[in-house]
Structure 1
Amino acid sequence: MNVSDGDVVDWAHFEKARAELGPGFIRILSYFREDGQKSVAAIEQAMREQNTVALVIPAHTIKGEARQFGADPLATVAELIENTARLCIETRRFPDELVADVVKLRQLWEATIGMFDEATNPLKSRPGQSGGFGRRANNQNFGRL
């Protein structure tokens, strides 16, 4: 899967979460932004420091939060990082094989947040919605012969 694909966010799941969370949706989405940014940075730092234990909690955090908003590809990569790190802790080795996945995690994170920002921007019209301020009037021929 390419990060530029339209498969980064399950919009039906996203809209379901928006409906279920109601007025608290934007606040909870902002928590996801804050926690996710910290989690991605912590995972990258753990990889630089070769600290396998430090990979687990931030990967677990971003996995759960991403699934809540329909960002399954992001959650899947985070889950792979979490599970691989847990296995490597048991076998007492560092998961060098996760370097490409951590890079992919960053790319998916940025793509996901960009799409969420666009979907929640009150100044942009959403698909399926029409009208609003500045719309073109449909009655331009009213009163003309």
Structure 2
Amino acid sequence: MSFEGSSTLVDRTAFTQARSVLGAGFVRILGYFREDGVKSVAAIEAAMRSGSAAAMVLPAHTLKGEARQFGAEPLALLAESIETIARDCVETRDTPDQAIAQVARLRPLFEQTLTLLERESNPLVERRPMPVANALAGGFGRRPGGFGRA
């Protein structure tokens, strides 16, 4: 698994654990994360535009939990921040204006995180490139040291 240049978006250990626990269902669950995440981000943005703190709470909560499932802690923390602000605004019967900065950062962070998760879960992505010298030493499908040797 590479996570090169983007290791701050997803915790490698949590991602690997989720992948192992979910097994064959991992790609399907990641697809649900994509679908739910797109809906949650859109709902949060719409709630922000309409000034409805109450409408922000559930999609932010959902996004937070699903992001944590895949080890996407920065996304989870941002969604949690939006959820907290929204809950506080519901309590005080206020508009969620103080969440504008967080909501503005949400979509780009979600898209970057999703791109990384999908790239890392693609079975066709080469995980660890083999140096050319090692690849050519034994030939394709042959063990170094010759046929039949361990």
Normalised by the length of structure 1, the TM-score is 0.85
Distance 1:94 1:5 in 2: 34
Matches of 1:50 and 1:92 in 2, distance apart? 11
- Farther-moved stretch of structure 1 (118-127 vs 14-23): 118-127
Unaligned ranges ≥5, structure 1: 141-145
RMSD: 2.1
Matched residues, number: 134
Give the equivalent residue in structure 2 for 1:24: 25
| 1:94 aligns to 2:87 (yes or no) | no
Q: Give the 3-state SS of the residue equivalent to 1:33 in structure 2.
A: helix
Question: Unpaired segments of 5 or more residues in structure 2?
Answer: 140-150
Instruction: Give 1:138 shift.
Output: 2.3
Q: Deviations over 1:22-53 (max 9, x none)?
A: 11111111111100110001001111111111
Q: Could you list the runs of 4 or more consecutive aligned residues of structure 1 that deviate by over 4 angstroms after TM superposition? A: none
Query: Identity rate of aligned residues, in percent?
Result: 52
Q: 3-state SS of the aligned residue for 1:7?
A: coil
Deviations 1:54-78 (A, max 9, x none): 0000000000000000000000010
The one-letter code sitting in structure 1 at the alignment partner of 2:54 is V
Counterparts of 2:51 and 2:77, CA distance in 1 = 22
1:85-114 Cα deviation digits (max 9, x unpaired): 011111011121111101111111011001
* Whole-Å separation in 2 of the counterparts to 1:5 and 1:117: 13
